[in-house]
């Protein structure tokens, strides 16, 4: 019987001769599993296929495309914020796009990976693909994407080249700070809050000291502090994601 | 032996969650019983290579999980179901199981068949393309079990796997456990002694971070005979009697 139809007789009611090769038992369970495997499988998109080739790991590629801050909605939101910044820059000559880029990147980085972001975080930690590697890949891609969006926004706003690229190092510092806080506090929101607060304080302090709002992204005196913060926060993030040692 | 644990402790601050546990076990189903806070989940998390011990030795599948390479190899051959299974609401059951098959570094060509097999084994075939957010608690638990067994693990660690399953599903799950235990080492942490009686060839009873009994379910049940311990079934009486004896010995010491 296959789906209720008796396949053993013809229209005259006589039993049909059964071919020898069909007499063998057919393992329908096995056949069904083969069909189900093809029907249920997920066809990876172009981005995932490219990532799989580049990373040489389909698991890492899948982990990358599930990053919350790389989902289409998040990317569109980031682009809209930066586009608004570029638009205001055109009207006021204040480089809002350059000032917004580090903040947008910090939020994206904080939401790249962690217990508050990945619902199955504990399970992910028991996997052969290292969670540290997942974190690293996600953070690098989110950062790169935000850098591209920031450059596009700055270019569109017609900001001077010094300002166009001046925010990249502050963006690195603010992003690593947000990442480190998100990991240590086990909360993406805490990371975002820390990044945004630190960046706001930096912008306002630099403005008070230098007298213009662009000082946070143009002052060469701030480069070393930015680099130190970035290095220290990266070290904290690396240390905090090690396999927890015992307390003895 | 797939699991060789020697005098393992795990300390969180001043509290010993696991206080000197030794355990050796090969293929078969081991039930890990004990009251809340006994240290079952911490012991399972150490065996899942999520946390290292504070002291003592752990060898899993013949390897020391302290090193990166051996740990990665163990994880390829490990199945783990945590007590609190997080899930991605937008994933379908098949996508969820496939995701973890890939993270376990299964050969990509084998993944679709393995995913279909795992989903059918937990009887979720009819909901394979349903989003996880649409499933009941019992179905989510079965999806979690499917991801744990998708790589046909040699070491399977299940933390409260029957929580949320209805009686019929629990009966089917016990049959699955017995089947898995023929080839793999399956360690099941549970509060439900009837699961242990029906599916486990061995049982370890934990209390206050220590294993206070290790034997067969029949031996545990025998421990309750004539003891006057509380319980509706022999295993429950054995469980209560062993715990009471351990606690009174601890109080006397």
The CATH number of whichever domain residue B205 belongs to comes to 3.40.50.300
CB contact under 8 A, A41 and B89: no
What is the pLDDT at residue A159?
63
The lowest-confidence range among A2-6, A136-140, B81-85 is A2-6
CB contact under 8 A, B88 and A66: yes
Same domain, yes or no, for B228 and B207? Answer: yes
SS3 state at B117: helix
Q: Is residue B5 part of a domain?
A: no
Q: Is residue A107 part of a domain?
A: yes
Q: Pick from B11, B82, B113: which is nearest to A248 by CB? A: B11
Q: Is residue B46 part of a domain?
A: yes
B240 in reach of chain A (CB within 8 A): no
Q: Which two tokens stand for residue B9?
A: 């402790």
Chain B residues closer than 8 Å to A56 by CB? none
Residue-number span of the structural domain to which A65 is assigned: 46-240
Q: Which residue of A has its CA nearest to B46?
A: A126
Model confidence band, residue A11 (pLDDT cutoffs 50, 70, 90): very low
Cα-based angle B192, B198, B203 (whole degrees, multiple of 5): 65
- With a cut of 80, say whether residue B75 has pLDDT above it: yes
Cα separation, B114 vs A34, whole angstroms: 10
The lowest-confidence range among A1-15, A54-68, B122-136 is A1-15
Closest alpha carbon to A176 in A235, A127, A131:
A235
Q: Is residue A39 part of a domain?
A: no
Q: Pick from B55, B112, B115: which is nearest to A246 by CB? A: B55
Same domain, yes or no, for B173 and B145? Answer: no
Same domain, yes or no, for B115 and B134? Answer: yes
Q: Is residue A82 part of a domain?
A: yes
Residue-number span of the structural domain to which B110 is assigned: 84-152
Chain A residues closer than 8 Å to B94 by CB? 40-42
Task: Provide the domain count of chain B.
Answer: 2
Q: Is residue A5 part of a domain?
A: no
Cα separation, A93 vs A102, whole angstroms: 19
Q: Is residue B4 part of a domain?
A: no
Q: Which residue of B has its CA nearest to A36?
A: B116
Q: Is residue B124 part of a domain?
A: yes
The DSSP bridge pattern shows strands B15-25 and B3-12 to be antiparallel
CB contact under 8 A, A66 and B99: yes
Same domain, yes or no, for B147 and B241? Answer: no
Name the strands in the sheet holding B78-81, side by side, starting at the edge strand that comes first in the sequence: B78-81, B155-159, B185-189, B28-33, B202-207, B210-215
Q: Is residue B2 part of a domain?
A: no
Closest alpha carbon to A146 in A98, A213, A187:
A98
Which residues, numbered 45 to 84 in chain B, qualify as contacts with chain A under a Cβ-Cβ cut-off of 8 Å? Answer: 48-55, 68, 71-73, 75-76, 78, 80, 82, 84
Instruction: Name the minimum distance, in Å, from the CA of A52 to any CA of chain B.
Output: 11
- Contacts A–B by Cβ distance under 8 A: 117
Which residues of A fall below an 8 Å CB-CB distance to B?
A: 29, 32-34, 36-38, 40-42, 57-59, 62-63, 66, 118-130, 243-248
DSSP state of A187: -
Same domain, yes or no, for B247 and B176? Answer: yes
Instruction: Name the minimum distance, in Å, from the CA of A121 to any CA of chain B.
Output: 7
DSSP state of A5: B
Same domain, yes or no, for B247 and B217? Answer: yes
Q: Is residue B6 part of a domain?
A: no
The pLDDT tens digits for A180-233 are 999 999 899 999 999 999 999 999 998 888 888 788 888 888 889 999 999 999
CB contact under 8 A, A243 and B52: yes
Strands (E), chain B: 3-12, 15-25, 28-33, 55-60, 78-81, 155-159, 185-189, 202-207, 210-215
Q: Pick from B86, B95, B108: which is nearest to A120 by CB? A: B86
Report phi then psi at B200, rounded to 5: -105, 140
The pLDDT tens digits for B13-60 are 889 999 999 999 999 999 999 998 899 999 999 999 999 999 999 999
């Amino acid at each position: 019987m296959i789906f209720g139809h008796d396949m053993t007789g013809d229209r005259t009611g006589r039993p049909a001769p059964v071919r020898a090769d069909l007499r063998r038992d057919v393992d329908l369970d096995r056949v069904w599993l083969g069909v189900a495997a093809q029907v249920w499988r997920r066809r990876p998109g172009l981005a995932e296929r490219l990532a799989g080739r580049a990373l040489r790991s389909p698991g890492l590629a899948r982990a990358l495309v599930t990053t919350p801050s790389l989902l289409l909605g998040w990317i569109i939101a980031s682009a809209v914020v930066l586009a608004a910044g570029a638009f205001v820059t055109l009207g006021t000559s204040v480089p809002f796009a350059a000032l917004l880029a580090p903040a947008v990147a910090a939020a994206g980085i904080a939401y790249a990976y962690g217990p508050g972001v990945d619902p199955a975080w504990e399970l992910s930690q028991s996997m052969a693909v290292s969670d540290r590697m997942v974190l690293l890949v996600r953070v690098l891609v989110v950062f790169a994407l935000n850098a591209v969006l920031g450059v596009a926004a700055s270019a569109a706003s017609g900001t001077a080249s010094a300002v166009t690229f001046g925010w990249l190092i502050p963006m690195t510092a603010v992003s690593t700070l947000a990442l480190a806080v998100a990991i240590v506090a086990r909360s993406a929101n805490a990371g975002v809050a820390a990044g945004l607060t630190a960046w706001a304080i930096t912008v306002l302090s630099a403005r008070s000291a230098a007298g213009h709002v662009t000082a946070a992204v143009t002052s060469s005196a701030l480069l070393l502090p930015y680099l130190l913060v970035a290095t220290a926060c990266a070290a904290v993030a690396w240390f905090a994601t090690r396999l927890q040692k015992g307390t003895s | 032996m797939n699991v060789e644990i020697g005098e393992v402790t795990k300390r969180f601050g001043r509290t010993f969650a696991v206080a000197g546990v030794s355990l050796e076990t090969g293929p078969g189903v081991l039930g890990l019983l004990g009251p809340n806070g006994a240290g079952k989940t911490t012991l399972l998390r150490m065996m899942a290579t999520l946390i290292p011990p504070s002291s003592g030795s752990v060898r899993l599948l013949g390897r020391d999980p302290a090193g990166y390479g051996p740990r990665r190899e163990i994880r390829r051959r490990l199945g783990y179901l945590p007590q609190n299974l997080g899930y991605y609401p937008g994933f379908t059951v098949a996508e969820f199981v496939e995701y973890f098959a890939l993270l376990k570094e299964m050969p990509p060509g084998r993944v679709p068949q393995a995913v279909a097999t795992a989903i059918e084994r937990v009887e979720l075939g009819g909901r394979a393309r349903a989003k996880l957010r649409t499933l009941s608690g019992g179905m989510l638990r079965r999806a979690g079990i499917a991801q744990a067994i998708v790589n046909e693990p040699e070491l399977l660690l299940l933390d409260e796997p029957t929580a949320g399953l209805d009686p019929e599903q629990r009966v089917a799950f016990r049959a699955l456990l017995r089947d898995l235990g023929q080839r793999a080492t399956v360690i099941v942490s549970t509060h439900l002694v009837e699961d242990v009686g029906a599916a486990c060839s061995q049982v370890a009873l934990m209390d206050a971070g220590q294993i206070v009994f290790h034997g067969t379910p029949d031996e545990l049940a025998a421990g309750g005979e004539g003891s006057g311990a509380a319980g509706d079934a022999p295993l429950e009486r054995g469980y209560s009697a062993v715990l009471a004896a351990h606690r009174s010995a601890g109080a006397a010491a």
